[in-house]
Structure 1
Amino acid sequence: MDVLEPELIWVDGRCYRFYENTAWKNIHTSVPYMEDKESICSNEESDSDIEIIPHDTLFKHTFYVPKIFYSHIIGTKGVTRKKLEHDTRTTIDIPKKGKDGNIVITGRERKAIISARHRIDLLVEASKKKIHYTHFLSIPLNKKHIIDKYISFKNDILQKYNKTAHNIDESLFQNPSKLHLTIGMLKLFDDNEKKRAIDALTNCKENIIDPILKEMRPINIQLQGVACMNDDPTDVKILFAQITPNEKLQELIDKVAEYFIDIGIMEKEYEKIKLHATLMNTTFKDDYSARFKEGYNASEILKAYKDTLFGEIILNRIDISERHTATKDDYYKSICSIIF
C-alpha cells in the first residue's frame, strides 16, 4: 500500500508523491519523488518568484539553502545530484562541505531550471522531517513560587509511591529551571532562519499580542491539577500540570502559532494549541533504552493531585528558546525574548 498510496508532500503550492519506503526503493533506483500531475493535487502555478537570468548561452538561477541540507541534495557519492542533473538536463553547483553560499543551477532551458529547483525544494522539505527540532516558542514558568510548589509535589510523590510498584524514580521529573509552556516547535538551521523567526515573533507582538492585551490586560496563566497524555493511567509517559481555561490566552496563543505556521516556520499539528506544563516524562529517564518503552503508573497521582494549585503568573513574555541549553539553575538560552 505504501507504493500504491505514497505520502503526498506540498511545497509552495505544488504537490508531490514521495516514495521514501523500502518497497519503492526495491523497485526503482531513481530519487524517491515525482511531481504529481493529477488535477487533484496540482494547480496552475506561477514561477515568477524564481529569478532566472541569461548566462552566456545558457540560463542561470541562484538561490539560498541552509548548508545542513547540502548532503541531502548531493546524496551518497553524489548520486542524488547526478540524477537531478541527468533528469533535468541542468548543472547544479553546491558550495563545498562546511561552506555557506548559494546553490546555482544552469541549463539551456528555463523550464529545466524550474524543474530542478522544484525537485531541490522537495528534497529539502522531505529532509526536514528527518532532522530534530532546534528551538521552540516558550512561555517560561520558572518563578520561585511555582518552582517551590513543583518541588514539593515531586518530593511528595517520591516519598509516597513505591518505585517498584509504580515504576517511578527521580529521573522522570522535569528540571525545575526548565518549567515552561510550549507554543510550538521550530527547526531553525542557520542565522538566516533564526532572524526570520525573530522577525516573526516581533511582528506577532505588534499585530497580534499588543492588540489583544489592549483589549484585555492582564492575562493570567493558572496551573491547577494534573493530567496525562494517554488514556491508560497505569501506563503513563507524560504527566503535566493543566492550565485553567482562559479564552483570551487561548486566542492569543493560537493566533501566534497560526502566524508561524502560515509563513512556514512551524508545522501545524493541532487545530488548537494545548497548553500544558510537563512535570514528568519518560524521555527524561537516565536509562535511554527505557525512555520510549516503559511507562509509569500514575493512577493514584492523578487522583491525589487533581486539584493541586501550582501557582499563577501574568503572561508577559514569550521566548524563542534553544533546545538542550537549560542548566540546573538557569532557563533555556533564548535567541529572542519579547516582553509585554
Structure 2
Amino acid sequence: MSTSQAIKSKNVGYTHFVSLPLTLPDEMVTKLNNFKNSALQTNKGLGIDKSIFIKPNTLHLTVQMLKLWNTDRIEAAADVLRRVSPKVMDALERRPVYIRLKGLECMPDRGTPPKAYVVHAPLEVIGGGIDRLKRACRVIIDAFIEAGLVLEKDANRGLLLHATLMNAGNSKSSKTSGKTEPFDARTIFAQYGSEEWGECYIREAHLSQRFVYDGNGYFHCCASIPFPEEKQGAFPMMKNSFQKMFSTAK
C-alpha cells in the first residue's frame, strides 16, 4: 500500500494527534468529577456509563488528527512540531494563554442532546487572546499539511477549539461491538448547559499518541514544544500537581 493509499484508507485509523494539554486547578478537577458522578446517578438507562467521560488529567484541546502508522512518519511529525516552535511563539506574541471553559455543546454534525455522540465544553481565551491561540494553531496545522501528514478532508476542516467531556466512542459497548451508539444528554444539558467549569492554563503543545498513556496519566508524548510561560502570580488558581504533571513526560 502506497503512502497516499494508506493515509486515505478507512482501515488505517487516526494514531496520533496534536494536542494542547490543559493544566487544571484542583477545584476544576473536583467539579468535573462531581459532574460525572451526578450524571451517572441521574441518567441511568440512557446509554451513559462512566467510560464515556473524559478523565480530568487527559483534558485537552485537539489541534490536528493524524495517521502516523510507522516510525518514519512519527519521527517526521515530531520534527515538524519542533521546527515550528519559534513561529508558534511569535503567533502567541510570547504571552501566556489562559482559557475559560463554560457550558456544554454537541459537536457539529455529531448528534444533538437527545442523541449525542460527543459533548464538549466551549472555551474563551481570557484577556481576549483567542486570535493569538487560533493563529498559533493555524501555524501548526499548516506545517503538518505542508509536510504531507494530514488527510485532505482534515486539511479542509475548520478549526474548532474545544474540550471534550463525553465521547460515546469511548464506551465499552462501542469497543466491543465496533458500533458507536448515541446517548441521551438532555438532562445533562438542562443541568449543566451553562456550567462555569473554570479557568486553566496551556503550557505546551504535544504530539500525542492515542490509546497510550504516560505515567502522569496523559497521552504518550512523542514530542512537545513550550507555550509562553505563566506569569508569576497571574493565575493564582494553579495550586495542584497538574502544574508539574508534564515535566516527567519529556
TM-score greater than 0.5 by the shorter chain: yes
Q: Is the 8 A contact 1:316 1:339 kept in 2?
A: yes
Q: Report how far residue 155 of structure 1 moved.
A: 1.2
Could you tell me which residue of structure 2 aligns to residue 295 of structure 1?
182
Q: Is the 8 A contact 1:282 1:291 kept in 2?
A: no
TM-score with structure 2 setting the length = 0.77
CA distance in 2, matches of 1:291, 1:279: 21
Matching of residues 174-189 of structure 1 within 5 Å:
174-189=54-69
Q: Report how far residue 136 of structure 1 moved.
A: 1.0
SS at match of 2:219: coil
Cα 1:133–1:180 change in 2 (3 A) is same
Deviations 1:162-189 (A, max 9, x none): x12x222222212333221111112223
Q: Report how far residue 320 of structure 1 moved.
A: 0.6
CA distance in 2, matches of 1:149, 1:328: 23
CA distance in 2, matches of 1:236, 1:308: 18
Q: Report how far residue 190 of structure 1 moved.
A: 3.2
The size of the alignment, in residue pairs, is: 215
Q: Report how far residue 250 of structure 1 moved.
A: 1.6
Deviations 1:18-77 (A, max 9, x none): xxxxxxxxxxxxxxxxxxxxxxxxxxxxxxxxxxxxxxxxxxxxxxxxxxxxxx3xxxxx
Matching of residues 294-333 of structure 1 within 5 Å:
294-326=181-213, 330-333=217-220
Deviations 1:281-321 (A, max 9, x none): 11111123566342111122223212212222232200111
Considering Cα pairs closer than 8 Å and 6+ residues apart, tell me whether 1 or 2 has the greater RCO. Answer: 2
Cα 1:189–1:218 change in 2 (3 A) is same
Could you tell me which residue of structure 2 aligns to residue 102 of structure 1?
none
SS at match of 1:253: helix
Aligned AA (1:150): L
Could you tell me which residue of structure 1 aligns to residue 91 of structure 2?
212
Cα 1:293–1:283 change in 2 (3 A) is closer
Q: Does 1:140 align with 2:21?
A: yes
Q: Report how far residue 236 of structure 1 moved.
A: 0.6
CA distance in 1, matches of 2:211, 2:69: 15
Q: Percent identity?
A: 30
Q: Does 1:257 align with 2:141?
A: yes
Q: Report how far residue 151 of structure 1 moved.
A: 0.8
Aligned AA (1:276): H
Could you tell me which residue of structure 2 aligns to residue 54 of structure 1?
none
Cα 1:274–1:291 change in 2 (3 A) is farther
Could you tell me which residue of structure 2 aligns to residue 35 of structure 1?
none
Q: Is the 8 A contact 1:282 1:292 kept in 2?
A: no
RMSD: 2.3
Q: Is the 8 A contact 2:206 2:224 kept in 1?
A: yes
SS at match of 2:136: helix
CA distance in 1, matches of 2:118, 2:30: 21
Could you tell me which residue of structure 1 aligns to residue 240 of structure 2?
none
Q: Is the 8 A contact 2:77 2:149 kept in 1?
A: yes
CA distance in 1, matches of 2:51, 2:171: 5
Q: Does 1:169 align with 2:56?
A: no
Matching of residues 36-185 of structure 1 within 5 Å:
72=1, 123-130=2-9, 131-141=12-22, 143-145=24-26, 146-161=28-43, 163-164=44-45, 166-185=46-65
Aligned AA (2:164): T
1:277 to 144, 150, 163: 163
CA distance in 2, matches of 1:231, 1:285: 16
Structure 2 unaligned regions, length at least 5: 228-250
CA distance in 2, matches of 1:326, 1:257: 23
CA distance in 1, matches of 2:209, 2:140: 18
CA distance in 1, matches of 2:75, 2:215: 28
Could you tell me which residue of structure 2 aligns to residue 225 of structure 1?
103
Q: Is the 8 A contact 1:142 1:176 kept in 2?
A: no
Q: Does 1:242 align with 2:126?
A: no
CA distance in 1, matches of 2:5, 2:217: 35
Q: Report how far residue 233 of structure 1 moved.
A: 1.6
